[in-house]
Amino acid sequence: MSFKCRGCAGENVVPVVDLGAQPCADYFPPAETPGPDPRWPLELWLCRDCTLVQLGPVEPQLPEEPLAVESATSIAHAEKSVKEILAEYPELNGGVVFEFASHHGGSWLQHLYAAGCRLAGDGEQADLVVDVHGIVHEPAFGELLKLRADRLAPGGLLVMEFHHLLPLFIGNQFDTIRHGHWSYISLRALQRVAALHGLTVESVKQVEMFGGSLMVMLRHAAVAKPDPSVDVVLEDEDAAGLADEVQLGSLQEAAWHAAGVLHEELARHKAAGRTVLGYGAPSKAPVLLDLSKITTDLLPFTVDLAPGKHGRRIPGGCGVPIRPIDELRAAKPDVVLVLTWDIADEVISQLESAGGWGATYLVPLPEPHEVVG
């Protein structure tokens, strides 16, 4: 089977990672809903031309419900990012802005309004265009990048933040591969697809969000002045082999290995009489638990801050119910499996500051490892 690249529309696209048929990651059915849940192929394909890594030819049919609650880490990151951008580009203070909404929250608008900026009107180009973890939710990456380029005023700045393919690959973050995230972006791929729409990458920052993200500044090619930060990231990507289909394919074996180790670790705790409960019900959890073959036998329940997820369950074969945070505190498990591993520090601090009980925290990736609270 073949299809056209979601970035450059080329046909030189090949499969590199196959995680099997997986449930839709943001479909959290009511706990009493009988299975089996619907599944679709979850595969990564590589475009040999523009190097964009992307989901293969799949069209999940279930709509995503906005159930998640934005983390304190994400909220603080948005405020900090706006302050830094406006300090580095003072000409944007009071300018015209436009933001492409993200399923992950983290909107910059309130902070930009506080700096005197105003929202662009219908069809109006903006001095600052922002996309924070938004474009990965769009199946047609190239077309939507063009839409962002068209919104940008001459001389304006496009800021894009996205989960970076490099930490995903070298950190074995296989659970971030999910239906609804259509593209897994390297700087090289963004650079090449952006060039098709008259944009040039000017500078790059590496940020810690979601396990490792890039904040990329782009301008129209005629005015862009790339700085050394661009080459630094490109060199790191090339060294890791992010455009090499054989190298990328090694992620599949690494994923299955880590999943097996996690199953063994939870089975070991159960055999020793220790209780393990989960923290978090992120969109990452279905793939992680499904590949690890973890069910309620090893993980009786998990908890989440989002009230909309309470009374529901993780989809797929695991069937793990989602409950309020207070039930974790009341149960006082010996081990807490941190499913929201990208904000593990926030999770541990939250639980310990409210009166810890000496639990050990288990972080699942890149391989399961324990963190003392």
pLDDT number for residue 237: 97
Please give the structure tokens belonging to residue 166. 């490099």
Give the pLDDT of residue 54. 97
Q: Which helix (H) or strand (E) holds 105?
A: none
Q: Positive or negative CA dihedral for 223, 89, 164, 308?
A: negative
pLDDT at 327: 97
Q: What is the pLDDT of residue 353?
A: 87
H or E segment to which residue 255 belongs: helix 245-271
Q: Using DSSP, state whether 184 is helix, strand or coil.
A: strand
Q: Given strand 126-132, what is the order of strands in its sheet?
A: 118-119, 96-100, 126-132, 152-163, 213-220, 199-207
The number of beta carbons lying within 10 Å of the beta carbon of residue 275 is 14
pTM of the model: 0.92
Using only the alpha carbons of the chain, give its radius of gyration: 21
- For residue 98, the model assigns a pLDDT of 97
pLDDT at position 74, please? 81
Q: Residue 332: what pLDDT?
A: 96
Which residues is 261 bridged to in the sheet? Answer: none
Residues of the chain with pLDDT under 70: 1-2, 60-67, 103-105
- pLDDT value at residue 24: 86
CA distance 175 to 7: 23
